[in-house]
């Protein structure tokens, strides 16, 4: 464990992040999950450089991610990861990933199983590297956002970005 802590000691303490909410119905006033994610990141000392709410359609999702690339080291989407025909975040972004981090989805579903039972298998949460940036695709519910952000994203965010930057 000491080797892990020593390795993480060189990680950036502050990461510049973007938050993208994927929803056909949310507005900035009703975007509870996006607001929660922004608050969790900034409370942990990270910078928020990009925020958008986009329709659950491939072109707006990809456009928002592309716009965030210039300002962010990590981009976190929420929403559009379920089984509904309108949920296209994963179909849109997964093929664009340079590297997939399968452990993120596996761990998220495992943690989620402890909270919601077998419904956890319906989550298609995903993480990877997109054009040199860390990308997390989280479900849209506030409980799922909080679980993923606090249990998985925050503990490794600086470390992962540091490793990616060499």
Give the domain ranges of the chain: 2-165
Cβ count near 22 (within 10 Å): 30
Order across the sheet with 16-22: list the strands: 47-54, 16-22, 74-78, 133-138, 126-130, 99-100
Asked if residue 80 lies in contact with residue 61, where contact means CB atoms within 8 angstroms, the answer is yes
> What are the pLDDT tens digits along the chain (166 aa)?
666 676 677 788 999 999 999 999 999 999 999 999 999 999 999 999 999 999 999 999 999 999 999 999 999 999 999 999 999 999 999 999 999 999 999 999 999 999 999 999 999 999 999 999 999 999 999 999 999 999 999 999 999 999 998 8
Residues 6+ apart with CB under 8 A from 50: 17, 18, 19, 20, 67, 68, 71, 72, 75
Give the class (CATH, top level) of 2-165.
alpha beta
Specify the pLDDT at position 7: 63
Q: How far apart are CA 138 and CA 53, in angstroms?
A: 14
Q: List, in sequence order, every residue forming a beta bridge with 48; answer none if it has no partner.
A: 17
| Reported pTM | 0.95
Specify the pLDDT at position 104: 98
């Amino acid at each position: 464990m000491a080797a892990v802590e020593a390795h993480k000691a060189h990680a950036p303490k502050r990461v510049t992040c973007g938050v993208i909410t994927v929803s056909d119905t949310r507005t900035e006033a009703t975007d509870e999950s996006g607001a929660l994610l922004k608050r969790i990141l900034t409370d942990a000392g990270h910078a928020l450089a990009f925020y958008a709410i986009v329709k659950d359609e491939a072109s707006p999702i990809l456009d928002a991610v592309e716009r965030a690339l210039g300002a962010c080291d990590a981009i976190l989407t929420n929403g559009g990861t379920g089984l509904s025909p309108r949920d296209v975040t994963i179909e849109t972004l997964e093929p664009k990933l340079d590297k997939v981090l399968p452990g993120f989805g596996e761990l998220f579903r495992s943690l989620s199983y402890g909270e919601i039972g077998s419904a956890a298998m319906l989550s298609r949460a995903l993480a990877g590297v997109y054009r040199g940036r860390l990308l997390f695709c989280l479900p849209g519910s506030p409980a799922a956002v909080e679980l993923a952000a606090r249990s998985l994203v925050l503990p490794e965010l600086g470390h992962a970005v540091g490793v990616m930057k060499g």
